[in-house]
Amino acid sequence: MASDKTASIARDISTVCRCKAVKYKTIRAAIEQGADTLEKIREKTRANTGCGKSCTEKIISMIAEHKR
């Protein structure tokens, strides 16, 4: 399905953390490598260490989704 692949690529290159310019695929890779808390994501990617913390809920959601 071409549209599924396109959607997946678009999601992977989307920016989750605007303050540090961290992409979805970077956070996903960190989660797949064992970063299973917000603190571990911060350590591995620098996401969620900027000023706004507007990405907090998205990162927590990504961690929860991976645990399912």
Instruction: Give yes or no for residue 34 having a pLDDT over 60.
Output: yes
Domain range for 45: 2-67
Domain holding 19: CATH number?
A: 1.10.10
Please state the rounded mean pLDDT for residues 37-59.
93
Q: Token digits for 66?
A: 């991976």
CA–CA gap between residue 21 and residue 36 (Å, rounded): 20
Question: Counting runs of H as helices and runs of E as strands, what totals does the chain give?
Answer: 4, 2
Q: Residue 68: which pLDDT band, with cuts at 50, 70 and 90?
A: confident
CA separation, residue 65 to residues 2, 22, 51, 58 (Å):
24, 19, 25, 10
Closest by CA to 42, choosing from 21, 63, 27, is: 27
| Stated pTM of the model | 0.82
Number of structural domains (the chain) is 1
What's CA 26's distance to the chain center, in Å? 6
